[in-house]
Amino acid sequence: MKPIVEVHDLTVMVGGRRGLLVRNVPPVRAVDGVGFELGQGEILALVGESGSGKTTLGRTLLGLQRETSGEIRLDGTTVSGLAPEAARRARRDIQYVHQDAGAALDPWWSIGRTLAEGLLIHGVRSAAERVDRVAEMLAAVGLDPAWGRRYPHEFSGGQLRRVALARILLLRPRVLILDEPTSGLDMSVQATVLNLLLELRERFSLTYLFISHDLSVVERLSDRVAIMHLGRIVEIGATKPLFAKPSHAYTRALLDAVPRLEGRSTSIGMPVAAK
């Protein structure tokens, strides 16, 4: 499998300030020497607790956060070390689906208008083409194209996730960073959203970086898993063997904590080091 994204020894420092009159605050090493490859068409899950650096890593790949050191390659071309604007342009193939779909949409804009805006920014000048592509994409994510006239509050949580997906897919990305795509959804709706993600991957030949802390979902959906802890990837590997035989102590602690349908876990669980 040809890697579409390659990350080598990536380090990102965030925050921190120095000044004459304020206290010096050292920056935090949010991502610390991370390296991995993302194969074409693959679903790689990025798992870790809050504060483990998974969102920072996602933002850095997008180009929203500048890397401190290390290299990011997209299709073999180095896209790191650029100024923010240039970085974002070079990484148009990578797009991000927001965790809270409701918050990512403007409540005063109809869905159709919001979706068309992305196309306008990306240079689709013909209004008729924009309308057609929006309608086509709404149908692709399983929504009625006529619903483009509706406003965000008229949609349910699961439908909003679909709208958010449609909005990003209009930009014809190749790599999607999905930030907790099913958090806060009912089990019944979660299943339909996951199903849609698999369908869309086939249809648009997408590659997913799937950020999640829901390990049951990760186990079912992803091809490979990377476990992040305190800014580092502590374990990475194919999903099945990793879940069956985790080698890192932190991975074991995480897996033990998952509430399972079959049987109550009796272990008290390994104490997980505080941040």
Please report, as ranges, the residues that interact with another protein according to CB under 8 A. Answer: 49-50, 156-157, 184, 186-192, 194-195, 198, 213-217, 219-220, 253-254, 256-265, 268-269, 272
| Shortest separation between residue 80's beta carbon and another protein, angstroms | 30
Whether residue 214 contacts residue 61, with contact meaning beta carbons closer than 8 Å, is answered with: no
Residue 69, beta-bridge partner list: 11
Specify which residues 12 forms β-bridges with: 31
Residue 110 or 216: the one with the smaller Cβ distance to another protein is 216
Q: How far apart are CA 5 and CA 78, in angstroms?
A: 10
How remote is the C-alpha of 224 from its chain's centroid?
A: 14
Q: How far is the CB of 275 from another protein (least distance, A)?
A: 8
* Nearer CB in complex with another protein: 24/50: 50
Q: Which is nearer to another protein, 110 or 192 (CB)?
A: 192
Positive or negative, the CA dihedral 60, 61, 64, 67 is positive
Distance in Å, CB of 102 to another protein, minimum = 13
Q: Closer CB to another protein, residue 72 or residue 233?
A: 233
Residue pair 15/194 in contact by the 8 Å Cβ criterion: no
The set of residues, in sequence order, having a beta carbon less than 8 Å from that of 95 and lying 6+ positions away, is 62, 168, 171, 173, 175, 176, 177
Three-state secondary-structure class, residue 40: coil
Identify which of residues 7 and 57 has a Cβ nearer to another protein in the complex.
Answer: 57
Complex with another protein: residue 11 or 216, whichever CB lies closer: 216
Q: Which residues of 145-181 are buried (b: 16+ CB within 10 A; e: fewer)?
A: bebbebebeebebbbbbbbbbbbbbbeebbbbbbbbb
Q: How far is the CB of 183 from another protein (least distance, A)?
A: 8
CB of 63 to another protein, least distance (A): 27
Phi/psi class of residue 58: alpha, beta or left (left: φ > 0; alpha: ψ in -120 to 50)?
alpha
Minimum separation from the CB atom of position 100 to another protein (A): 12
